[in-house]
């Protein structure tokens, strides 16, 4: 699938394999980092696909792990080389918030995304004017040009929903507060709600609303996303990722038990939310009230 050609997927796949090889040898991360003259945090980032793996380090690790099979070594070297390519989002590095490029890469290469939003419409469903209003509120020191480029990036990200061969499967749950907060003013918000109604017609999108009337729920801690990835020709699949947004910084969780915990929270929310049909009706009703 096209997603596997992306640099983020390649880096993650390489990191997973390097960690497996290290652990099979009974070596601790700090031991290997010391022999490579790297900080332990740097090697950790390589193993989680968040940092590039330069060829000299890769060669040294393969020697250290006793990898002698020529084909296996070449496959891993190819992954490292492809992982060094820049994704399309690299063109926005000058305005991307620190670390957010990792999320954009994961999103661009995911097969499915489940998202709970507590305050805002999900970025993949925002109109340009709504996005601009959000960005202006969040980044008050940004110039008009920077806001424009960030909004452009957000619109570019939305192309994953209309990929010809493998559009992203998106399931979004919006808290009712998202629909009632008039971001950008009445005109912008009516257009945004109209966009949500149009989006419900997409075959690869499921949209639900969690009403105020439900009370306490599993999403009270804030927004979170769960990304899953396609398999390759051999059936290997990259592990899923739970991405949690918070004021202190965004967190990527990749351990199976962490991803399962957030997946269970999402399952609770979609069971408690209004049905897609009821959600569409509520969005339409609120639109007439603004």
Which pLDDT tens digit goes with each residue over 240-266? 999 998 777 788 888 899 999 999 999
User: What is d(CA 188, CA 92) in angstroms, rounded to the nearest whole number?
Assistant: 25
The residue among 100 and 152 whose pLDDT is bigger is 152
pTM of the model: 0.82
Question: By mean pLDDT, which of 30-34, 77-81, 160-164, 212-216 is the weakest?
Answer: 77-81
Question: By mean pLDDT, which of 134-138, 239-243, 270-274 is the weakest?
Answer: 239-243
The residue among 79 and 198 whose pLDDT is bigger is 198
Report the candidate in 219, 217, 239, 218 with the shortest Cα–Cα distance to residue 228: 239
In the chain, residues under CATH classification 1.10.260.40 are 2-83
Nearest-10 crossing angle of helices 29-36, 55-64: 130
Regarding the domain with residue range 2-83, which homologous superfamily does it belong to in the CATH classification? lambda repressor-like DNA-binding domains (1.10.260.40)
User: What is d(CA 116, CA 219) in angstroms, rounded to the nearest whole number?
Assistant: 7
**How far, rounded to the nearest angstrom, does the alpha carbon of residue 153 sit from its chain's CA centroid?**
14
In the chain, residues under CATH classification 3.30.870 are 91-289
pLDDT score, position 11: 86
Report pLDDT digits (tens) over 53-73: 999 999 999 999 999 999 889
Give domain 91-289's CATH number out of 3.30.160, 3.40.50, 3.30.870, 1.10.10: 3.30.870
pLDDT score, position 102: 85
């Amino acid at each position: 699938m096209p997603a596997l050609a992306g640099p983020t997927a390649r880096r993650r796949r390489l990191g997973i394999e390097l960690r497996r090889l290290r652990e099979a040898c009974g070596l601790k991360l700090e031991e290997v980092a010391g022999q490579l003259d790297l900080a332990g945090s740097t090697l950790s980032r390589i193993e989680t696909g968040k940092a590039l793996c330069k060829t000299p380090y890769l060669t040294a690790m393969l020697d250290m792990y006793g990898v002698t099979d020529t084909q296996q070594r070449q496959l891993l070297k190819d992954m490292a080389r492809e992982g060094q390519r820049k994704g399309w989002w690299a063109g926005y590095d000058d305005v991307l918030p620190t670390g957010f490029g990792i999320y954009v890469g994961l999103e661009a290469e995911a097969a499915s995304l489940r998202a709970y939003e507590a305050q805002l419409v999900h970025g993949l469903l925002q109109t340009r004017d709504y996005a601009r209003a959000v960005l202006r509120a969040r980044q008050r020191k940004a110039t008009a040009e920077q806001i424009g480029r960030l909004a452009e990036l957000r619109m570019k990200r939305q192309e994953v929903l209309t990929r010809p061969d493998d559009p992203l499967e998106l399931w979004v749950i919006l808290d009712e507060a998202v629909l009632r907060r008039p971001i950008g003013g009445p005109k912008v918000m009516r257009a945004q709600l109209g966009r949500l109604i149009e989006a419900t017609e997409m075959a690869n999108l499921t949209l639900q609303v969690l009403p105020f009337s439900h009370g306490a729920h599993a999403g009270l801690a804030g927004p979170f996303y769960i990304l899953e990835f396609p398999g390759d020709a051999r059936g290997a699949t990259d592990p899923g990722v739970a991405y949690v947004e918070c004021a202190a910084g965004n967190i990527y969780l990749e351990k199976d038990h962490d991803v399962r915990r957030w997946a269970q929270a999402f399952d609770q929310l979609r069971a408690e939310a209004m049905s897609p049909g009821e959600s569409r009706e509520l969005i339409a009703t609120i639109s007439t009230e603004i």
